[in-house]
Amino acid sequence: MASNNIKIHQQFKVVPLPSSTQTSTTPLTFFDIYWLRCHPVERIFFYTLPNSQSHPTFFYQNIVPRLKTSLSLTLQHFLPLAGKIIWPSDSPKPFIQFNPNDDDGVSLLIAESDSDFNHVIENSPHETSLSRSFVPHLDSTDSFASVISCQITLFPKSGFSIGISTHHAVFDGKSSTMFIKAWAYLCNKLILLSKFEPVFDREIIKDQNELADTFTNNWIEIMTKMFPNEKGNERCLKILPFQPKLDDYVRATFELTRENLSKIKQMVLSKWEIFDTNESKPQTLSSFILTCAYSLVCVAKAIHKYEKEKEKFAFAFSVDCRARLEPPIPNNYFGNCVWGHFVDAKPSDFIKEDGLFLVAKSIHDKIVMINEKGALQGTNDAFDKYISMTSEGIEIIGVAGSNRFGVYEIDFGWGRPEKVEIVSIDRGLTIGLAEGKNGKGGIEVGVVLNKHVMDLFSTLFLEGLH
């Protein structure tokens, strides 16, 4: 196992600087509570270093102190992240509390790996477990859940990585990226730019339908059903065990260039008139629609080819609601402000000959509906819809990350990342997205699949572009 190559040198509890004496509490909104027991989002940023700086002495004396100090300074602006989620018996709902007298702070591991850095960052398939060594565990128990944990790993003579695990009930993708960008900025400068200053005000999220209560009750029901012997433990904050897929699974990254996306767009639009007489053909289709449709169809067809009985699929994606709420909320609102939607493709559409067109059209139609009717359509039956689909044997494919987050711009002072990876896609059937690293309009797609399925996927993905 790759994790044998990791040596933990130090573990710190990083606290906000200058130190705070006030206990602060931050409520969780319905957007947050929806994700309460879901697995953490785990990401790694890999950076290369010139030989002199990747020597252990330089690394431990210069790079680690700088990253640690800037993390402390960043937490002063993001105080709730140094706390934990708790759910006292006198509170109807869980909330975040930062208590400086209660050993609160962010866990930071300093590690060293003897893995081959170039192998770790390559795009071609490699064992799923390898990346797992570079992301830290996020603590969760019956009584509390940590908000964030970090790990800095040195690869001597090559570079280092920053691995981050974040609790999904506190962060959506936009928030976690904003925090990492703020940390990188303060690693280089002394004063934080206003665009990285978070807004934690929960009053701006209006909950007209009392969804926070509904989702809290949903979780209590789920816990009672899943653990019938643990009566009275419905407030347990332990994250559900979404185990990563390790044995016989591999991880790989594929890139769609701007030219590839243009080709996929032509393939989709050329079918529009043939299939659809009622609706005029859209002028354009977003890179998100094209990337997701193309990747999903390749995933579904590869799985079906390997396991014939798997022929029903669905796609769920999240929409950023910040600009879509009435009134809109600030772009730097910190917390979850995304809502998930299933596309209305038939479960068999993904493996049909015209699957690419059918899935692209269904994503496009869903986005049009969201723009017309609002992003919170179907919030009340979200849990039920998910449970009924899984009970019908439908394989639900999700998506993590975004090509709009700008993760390849995050420079802590030693250059841009060589590779950014969403590790947690191995905990479900999920594709991970990021912008192409060369900044030329491409998109990176990360996938974790069974070895044999990955071979089929790779063939379909690459051949479909020629």
Residue-wise pLDDT for 218-228, tens only, equals 899 888 888 88
- Band (pLDDT 50/70/90 cuts) for residue 459 is very high
243 occurs within a structural domain: no
Average pLDDT rounded to a whole number, residues 344-353: 96
More confident position, 432 or 241 = 432
388 occurs within a structural domain: yes
pLDDT above 70 as % of the chain: 99
What digits encode the pLDDT tens for the residues 69-105?
999 999 999 999 999 999 999 999 999 999 998 889 9
What was the pLDDT predicted at 249?
98
> Which string of DSSP letters, residue by residue, matches 314-329?
EEEEEEE-GGGSSS--
What was the pLDDT predicted at 89?
93
276 occurs within a structural domain: yes
Instruction: Give the domain extent around 79.
Output: 2-226
- DSSP secondary structure code for residue 140 in this structure: B
267 occurs within a structural domain: yes
381 occurs within a structural domain: yes
What was the pLDDT predicted at 276?
64
120 occurs within a structural domain: yes
Q: With the C-alpha atoms ordered 414, 416, 421, 422, is the resulting torsion angle positive or negative?
A: positive
Domain boundary residue, one of 168, 194, 226: 226
What digits encode the pLDDT tens for the residues 20-67?
788 999 999 999 999 999 999 999 999 999 988 989 999 999 999 999
Contact between 181 and 174 under an 8 Å Cβ cutoff? The reply is no
Q: Is the pLDDT of residue 393 over 90?
A: yes
**Whether 253 and 221 share a structural domain:** no
Determine phi and psi for 344, rounding to 5 degrees: -95, 30
**Whether 303 and 160 share a structural domain:** no
Among the options 168, 304, 341, 364, which is catalytic? 168
235 occurs within a structural domain: no
**Whether 73 and 208 share a structural domain:** yes
d(C-alpha 162, C-alpha 187), whole Å:
13
**Whether 326 and 434 share a structural domain:** yes
Among the options 213, 365, 411, 455, which is catalytic? 411
Contact between 130 and 427 under an 8 Å Cβ cutoff? The reply is no
Quick check: is 168 catalytic?
Answer: yes
What was the pLDDT predicted at 440?
94
Neighbouring residues of 388: CB distance < 8 A, sequence distance ≥ 6: none
191 occurs within a structural domain: yes
Task: Give the chain's mean pLDDT.
Answer: 94
Q: Is the pLDDT of residue 1 over 60?
A: no
What was the pLDDT predicted at 2?
39
What was the pLDDT predicted at 41?
98
**Whether 123 and 24 share a structural domain:** yes
Quick check: is 455 catalytic?
Answer: no
What digits encode the pLDDT tens for the residues 204-220?
999 989 999 999 998 99
**Whether 78 and 198 share a structural domain:** yes
Neighbouring residues of 225: CB distance < 8 A, sequence distance ≥ 6: none
Integer CA distances (angstroms), 63 to 152, 234, 353, in order: 10, 43, 52
d(C-alpha 164, C-alpha 149), whole Å:
6
**Whether 182 and 292 share a structural domain:** no
Determine phi and psi for 260, rounding to 5 degrees: -60, -45
**Whether 171 and 314 share a structural domain:** no
What digits encode the pLDDT tens for the residues 168-213?
999 999 999 999 999 999 999 989 999 999 999 999 999 989 999 9
Question: Can you tell me which residue has the tokens 């802590």?
Answer: 412
Domain boundary residue, one of 169, 195, 226: 226
**Whether 97 and 194 share a structural domain:** yes
Determine phi and psi for 268, rounding to 5 degrees: -75, -50
pLDDT above 90 as % of the chain: 85
What was the pLDDT predicted at 307?
96
| 293 SS3 class | helix
**Whether 253 and 289 share a structural domain:** yes
As a whole number of angstroms, the longest Cα–Cα distance in the chain is: 68
- Identify the CATH number of the domain in which residue 56 sits: 3.30.559.10
Total domains, the chain? 2
**Whether 78 and 216 share a structural domain:** yes
What digits encode the pLDDT tens for the residues 435-447?
999 999 999 999 9
**Whether 173 and 279 share a structural domain:** no
Q: Which of 125, 1, 84 has the alpha carbon at shortest distance from 455?
A: 125
Domain boundary residue, one of 192, 226, 260: 226
More confident position, 409 or 383 = 409
- Name the CA radius of gyration of the chain, rounded: 22
